[in-house]
A and B are shown apart, each in its own frame.
Chain A
Amino acid sequence: MSTAIKNIRRSPYQALSAIFIVSLTLFIVGIFGLVTAASQEILNNFETKPQIIAYLKDGHTTEQVGGLLSSLNSTSGVKKAVYISKNDALELYKKSVGNDPVLLGTVTDWGIVTADILPASIEITAEKPDLFKNIAATLEKSDIVSVTPTGKKEIDFPQDVITELTKWTNAIRMGGLVLVVALTLVAILTIMTIISMKISSRRFEISTFKLMGAKNLYIIKPYLQESVIYGLVGSIVGWLGCLVTILYTTPFLAPRIGSIISFPIPFMAMFILFGALVLFGLIISFLSSLFAATRFVNRSK
């Protein structure tokens, strides 16, 4: 290890550039890891919610609701249909606003929020999104489903949000993956170039070692140790970058997605991220130096 540290001291700028590129790569890997995990969490949250909501006119009777539910249940593709009364709607509203004093103050443009001003509804979960049309047709025929001022039945499809969100999540994931792969390649090539340059400048020493009977592992060991130091320091710096970014953005993100993702990010999640980044950093630095050093040593006599 002392030889590896000596090698780093001999050419500090090469070491700095290797550490910088590994740090940057692992910072991006870390951030995209977190974004992917968060987007999955948001997606899961949306998916657990009903896929179709039909709002009902005031004054409907229990029989009418029972009739609609039974016709929905006999419609192919309906997994579950649940009636949400005005009182149930009020409970859900209270639950969703939590302890927000403004919203819980129950003062709105329409006056006091009571069960009366909230519509009753039927929430439907479908087996497959392509069966929504059948379900919508059944709802369209019903007289108790309320009508908008434009004459349309008041039926919501939160699935559209999910589809849109999935599209965005996949796009972010794909973009992130491309960036991570590109940066990983740059990091590997940078370490390979630096190790190749270093090992090449010690050509005389290496050929002497070989003539003295040194095995390849003895010769390349200091170079492997050197790049492992790059990987380790780079991953720690990259992780610290992620940590600072999270701490900096928490005040912005917490009010917006705090109901879905818990803030501050749990210690265990950051610990797992640290472990993953260190492992990834060590793997890319070790493999790139192993490849560069072995190639050189095998070619020299």
Chain B
Amino acid sequence: MIDFIHVSKSFPNGDVVINDIDFSIPPGEFVIITGESGAGKTTIGRLLIRDLVPEKGKILIDGVDLTKIKPQNIPLIRRKIGFAFQDFRVIPDKTVGENIVIALEIAGYDAKKIPEKVKHTLSMVGLSGKENLFPGQISGGELQRASIARAIAADPPILFADEPTGNLDKKTSLDIFNLLQKINSDGTTVIIATHDVTLINQNIGRHIHLEKGKIVKEEKHQEEKREKKE
């Protein structure tokens, strides 16, 4: 369960980027956060992984207040959230497989089970056979899939995908969207931050629209019965 309770955040130059936002995301929900560039979508993700700390309000993940968490416990919270970064952040001198191994090692996965888990994750995102390729040897769509694969490899209960279809063509964008839906159908809470109309027009899940750091519209398009992830 994710709770943003009257959260505000401004940058050192005084620009208010999140302005008193308040929402909850129950486990297993599919949420699309939309808004123009600078509306605060990415900031929500960064607040969620405690890369930023709000000036006001509280952020709770499964009841744990991120504003009061001890520094040594931050990694444990971050492991609960798979983060697919806008700029992918795939390590360029490591193969696709090695990038996923890192995520599994960080999560403390049993070393013996890692090779099998890497294969399974790559097949899930449609990258079977690309394990030994370096990021520079695959396409943009595949890179996004690799980024998502790394984010979900350790089975985190929450996935935050920041602009997962940026710079991708319409067909590839829809493929990625379908992949995220598939991940959600397995019980993972999926939060997508995007301004891609292709995704918005799918009218699936819960839609939160931001403008200048405030929630201006919130609607639920489709109720789907999903199992809560353990």
**Contact for A209 among B49, B85, B102, CB less than 8 A:** B102
Cβ of B221 under 8 Å from chain A: no
Residues of B within 8 A of A214 (CB): 75, 106
Within 8 A of A (CB), among B46-70: 49, 51
Residues of A within 8 A of B200 (CB): none
Chain B 93-133 near chain A by CB (<8 Å), digits 1 or 0: 00000000011011100000000000000000000000000
Chain A 142-166 near chain B by CB (<8 Å), digits 1 or 0: 0000000000000000000000000
Chain A 195-212 near chain B by CB (<8 Å), digits 1 or 0: 000000000110011111
Number of A-B contacts (CB under 8 A): 36
Cβ of A168 under 8 Å from chain B: no
Q: Is the CB of A205 within 8 A of B91?
A: yes
Chain A 268-286 near chain B by CB (<8 Å), digits 1 or 0: 0000000000000000000
Chain B 14-56 near chain A by CB (<8 Å), digits 1 or 0: 0000000000000000000000000000000000010100000
Cα-based distance from A68 to B74 in the complex (angstroms): 87
Cβ of A291 under 8 Å from chain B: no
Q: Is the CB of B51 within 8 A of A212?
A: no
Q: Is the CB of B75 within 8 A of A215?
A: yes
Cα-based distance from A58 to B103 in the complex (angstroms): 95
Q: Is the CB of B51 within 8 A of A213?
A: no
**Contact for B83 among A205, A212, A215, A218, CB less than 8 A:** A212
With both chains docked as a complex, state the minimum distance between the C-beta of B174 and any C-beta of chain A, in angstroms.
27
Cα-based distance from A215 to B78 in the complex (angstroms): 10
Within 8 A of B (CB), among A175-229: 204-205, 208-215, 218
**Contact for A213 among B76, B85, B91, CB less than 8 A:** B76
**Interface of A (DSSP majority class):** helix
Cα-based distance from A209 to B75 in the complex (angstroms): 10
Q: Is the CB of A213 within 8 A of B78?
A: yes
Cα-based distance from A211 to B85 in the complex (angstroms): 10
Cβ of A299 under 8 Å from chain B: no
Residues of B within 8 A of A205 (CB): 91
**Contact for A208 among B76, B77, B89, B107, CB less than 8 A:** B89
Cβ of B79 under 8 Å from chain A: yes
A side interface size, CB within 8 A = 12
Cα-based distance from A21 to B45 in the complex (angstroms): 46
With both chains docked as a complex, state the minimum distance between the C-beta of B93 and any C-beta of chain A, in angstroms.
9
- In the complex with contacts A218-B105, A218-B106, A301-B51, A213-B89 CB distance below 8 A: no
Within 8 A of B (CB), among A116-146: none
Size bin of chain B's contact surface: 10 to 19
**Contact for B51 among A204, A209, A211, A218, CB less than 8 A:** A211
Residues of B within 8 A of A210 (CB): 75, 78
Cα-based distance from A144 to B102 in the complex (angstroms): 91
Residue in A204, A208, A211, A212 with the greatest tally of chain B CB atoms within 10 Å: A212
Residues of B within 8 A of A204 (CB): 89
Cα-based distance from A212 to B83 in the complex (angstroms): 7
Cα-based distance from A90 to B150 in the complex (angstroms): 89
Residues of B within 8 A of A208 (CB): 85, 89, 91
Q: Is the CB of B91 within 8 A of A211?
A: no
Residues of A within 8 A of B106 (CB): 209, 212-215, 218
Cα-based distance from A181 to B75 in the complex (angstroms): 39
Q: Is the CB of A212 within 8 A of B103?
A: yes
A219 (CB) vs chain B CBs: closest residue: B106
With both chains docked as a complex, state the minimum distance between the C-beta of A205 and any C-beta of chain B, in angstroms.
5
Residues of B within 8 A of A301 (CB): 51
Cα-based distance from A211 to B150 in the complex (angstroms): 12
A215 (CB) vs chain B CBs: closest residue: B75
Cα-based distance from A213 to B77 in the complex (angstroms): 7
Cα-based distance from A213 to B51 in the complex (angstroms): 11
A214 (CB) vs chain B CBs: closest residue: B106
Interface CB pairs A-B, < 8 A, 27: A204-B89, A205-B91, A208-B85, A208-B89, A208-B91, A209-B102, A209-B106, A210-B75, A211-B49, A211-B51, A211-B78, A211-B85, A211-B89, A212-B78, A212-B79, A212-B102, A212-B103, A213-B75, A213-B76, A213-B77, A213-B78, A213-B106, A213-B107, A214-B75, A214-B106, A218-B105, A218-B106
Q: 3 closest pairs, A vs B, by CB?
A: A213-B78, A213-B79, A213-B75
Given contact pairs A204-B89, A208-B91, A211-B78, a sample of 15 additional A-B residue pairs in the complex whose CB atoms are under 8 Å apart? A205-B91, A208-B85, A210-B75, A211-B49, A211-B51, A211-B83, A212-B79, A212-B83, A212-B103, A213-B75, A213-B78, A213-B79, A214-B75, A214-B106, A301-B51
Q: Which residues of B contact A (CB under 8 A)?
A: 49, 51, 75-79, 83, 85, 89, 91, 102-103, 105-107, 150
